[in-house]
Structure 1
Amino acid sequence: MELTRESWTDADAADANLAVLPVGSTEQHGPHAPLGTDVLTAEAVAEAGADRYDDPVVVAPAVPVGIAEEHRRFAGTLWTSESTFRAYVRDVVGSLASHGWDRVIVVNGHGGNIAALKEVTARIVRHDDAYAVPFTWFDEVGEHTSEMGHAGPLETSLLRHTDPESVHEDRLEAAAADGADRWGEWQGRVNLAVDSDEFTDNGVVGDPRESSAELGEELLAKSADALCDLLDAVRDRDPGPRIDG
């Protein structure tokens, strides 16, 4: 059940305690993919997992702005502080829980959100009347996870399957030519770069020419299946005692 498409009376009648909250980012994804890539992919995975799950699952509206200041020099990128982001996610999870949807999986589409989501979901479990866990879709696609870059073959493929009109396929050659092979500038295990424009001219990491709608279909199936497995675990989990306050 997608909340944005339902009336409050239908929401009130929903026999569910499970919810998914897509979170993403509005940030550059090279010349070929939309600024909303991380939102669109998180929504696609959240909706696919909810659709194929046996029990009712509430799909919350996506959080569209995340921790993305590393892309600040590329036009259109929006960002918020980690503290604001964590507080916002916690508030939304609390809102869901207030209606009885108190088992929440935060379906993430942006690497920059990962650390903050790990922290805030742990805080929710310890202190709030809800149980929440983070789920980053591109970490749940098996052997393809190692191919994740930025606006590279994985994200581009998923969009070519779920939202093909959003991808400028005629720009894939240019995107690959001016992109980078890997994220960052490294000395040993230390990344010397703070912002993405230090190592990629157009914001791309990886080769989006290796993308395809067929690969995107596979990625969606793998990530949605993994999300269903996690829904099972969250549904049956006893989170234990909470800390007051």
Structure 2
Amino acid sequence: MHLADVTWTDARDVEADFALLPVGSTEQHGPHAPLGLDSMTAEAIAEAGADRYADEGTEVLVGPTVPVGVAAEHRNFEGTLWVSEDTFRAYVGETIESLASHGIDRVVVVNGHGGNVDALEELCGRMSREGDVYTAQYTWFNSTDFENIGHAGPAETSMIRHLAPELIHEDRTEAAAEGGADGWGEWVSGTNLAYDSDSFTDSGAVGDPREGDAELGADLLDAAADALVELLEAVADRQR
């Protein structure tokens, strides 16, 4: 059940102990893919995971997607929006507290953006130790065996080819690849010297978006939803 689509009486009457909160980003994904890619994928995976978990007999609420995250590393590409880690943690944390006030005692944050991970790890750990709700963060690309996630590369581009193919500018993928990077950052002695992505990728892409297709996107969504269900089962069984 998507919380934004129902009435307050529907929300009152549903028997759910679990909620999923999708979080993403509004940031550059090369010249070929939409700024909202991370939010779109997080929401799609949350909805698919909730549907599969509900098929096992447990209703799950899906909260509205948080669309702006920790993305200052992309600030030099137009259209990118970002907030500080403190603001992000406060907003996500207070949203989780809102869910907890209605009797939800388990929340999994379904994340689609790498820049959010550290802030979410700290937040979820602190809230689980100190609050009335157990929460964990799930970042979909850390759950898959696909080795070339990149940024606006074959994996992310294929996800949108599956979810919303009209949003991919296929005629720009060659420029994205030619101006892109093979890997993230500039690493020396285990240290990334590149704080901003425009210092190592001219197009904003990392990886070749010409690789992969809608079928790969469907497979990634399927694998990510299955992994999310596995996590939900573990969180449900966990003693606080």
How does the TM-score come out when normalised to structure 1? 0.95
Contact 1:4–1:60 at 8 Å: present in 2 too?
Answer: yes
Percent identity between matched residues is 62
The count of residues paired between Structure 1 and Structure 2 equals 237
- The root-mean-square deviation of aligned C-alpha atoms, in Å, is 0.8
What is the aligned counterpart of 1:89 among 84, 87, 92? 92
The 3-state SS of whatever aligns with 1:226 is helix
Pairing 1:208–2:209 present: yes
Task: Structure 2 unaligned segments of length 5 or more: list them.
Answer: none
How does the TM-score come out when normalised to structure 2? 0.97
- What is the match of residue 73 of structure 2? 70
Pairing 1:107–2:86 present: no
The 3-state SS of whatever aligns with 2:20 is strand
Q: C-alpha offsets along residues 207-239 of structure 1, whole Å, 9 cap, x if unaligned?
A: 001121010011011000000011111111111
User: Structure 1: which amino acid aligns with 2:168?
Assistant: V
- Structure-1 separation of matches of 2:191 and 2:234: 36
- Structure-2 separation of matches of 1:118 and 1:164: 32
- What is the match of residue 126 of structure 1? 129
Contact 2:175–2:203 at 8 Å: present in 1 too?
Answer: no
Q: Which moved more, 1:43-52 or 1:185-194?
A: 185-194
Contact 1:58–1:101 at 8 Å: present in 2 too?
Answer: no
- What is the match of residue 243 of structure 1? none
- Structure-2 separation of matches of 1:160 and 1:11: 33
> What is the Cα deviation at residue 202 of structure 1?
1.1
The 3-state SS of whatever aligns with 1:208 is coil
- What is the match of residue 37 of structure 1? 37
- What is the match of residue 185 of structure 1? 186
- Structure-2 separation of matches of 1:49 and 1:98: 23
- What is the match of residue 155 of structure 1? 156
- Structure-1 separation of matches of 2:191 and 2:3: 43
The 3-state SS of whatever aligns with 2:138 is strand
Q: Which moved more, 1:188-197 or 1:74-83?
A: 188-197
Contact 1:178–1:200 at 8 Å: present in 2 too?
Answer: yes
The 3-state SS of whatever aligns with 2:107 is strand
Contact 2:148–2:155 at 8 Å: present in 1 too?
Answer: yes
User: Structure 2: which amino acid aligns with 1:48?
Assistant: A
